[in-house]
A = this chain, B = another copy of it.
Amino acid sequence: MYFDTLGQMKKQLAQLDKWLAAAVTYAEVKKFDPNVFLTTRLAVDQFPFVRQVQVTCDTPKLAASRLTGKEAPAQADNETSLPELSARIQATIAYLDTFTAKDFVGADARTVTQPRWEGKIMSAHDYFLEHALPNFYFHLTTAYAILRHNGVPMGKRDFLGTLSQRMP
């Protein structure tokens, strides 16, 4: 489950990168600074777009690291432009590309914790399903919604990407 679902997250990160390109194109057409998107949000007490993208990247990065014991590269969270965010996405995809299904053998025996959990732990299984998976899609979809709400022309197909469909 872990490896396959992280593979799907990698696919979604590639879609997210395409939305950034669509945002740049839209800004060019409308003649505004595309980096305005970085500080845009749907509610005043919500993370802005730049942070939504950063967390969307960090969630599968940290999940892959925590479930395998392999170290995750640190990120400075200092992106100031859409091209820099695109580089962050590409770096995350490249990191996820270093994993094979074999790396996740034994993951179910692991537990996960975070400083903010005040000593509490979660089983790898619960952490992945209850925390990593919903958080990933939450921030991914919120990033999409911020662009969509502000006029970037995208639809569900852009969200999902190409499906593995075939004739019977």
Contact = CB atoms under 8 A, between A and B. Distances in A.
Interface of A: 1, 4-5, 7-8, 11-12, 42-43, 46, 111, 113, 117, 119-123, 125-126, 129-131, 133-135, 137-138, 140-142, 144-145, 148-149, 151, 156, 159-161, 163-168
A122 B165 contact: yes
A160 B141 contact: no
Please give the count of copies of this chain that the complex contains. Answer: 2
A42 B148 contact: yes
Interface of A is mostly: helix
A156 B129 contact: no
A164 B120 CA distance: 10
Nearest to A112: B165
A167 B119 contact: yes
A8 B133 contact: yes
30 contacts: A4-B129, A8-B129, A8-B130, A8-B134, A11-B130, A12-B134, A42-B145, A43-B148, A111-B168, A113-B168, A119-B167, A119-B168, A120-B165, A122-B163, A122-B164, A123-B164, A130-B161, A131-B163, A134-B160, A135-B156, A135-B160, A137-B137, A137-B140, A138-B141, A138-B156, A138-B159, A141-B142, A142-B145, A145-B145, A149-B149
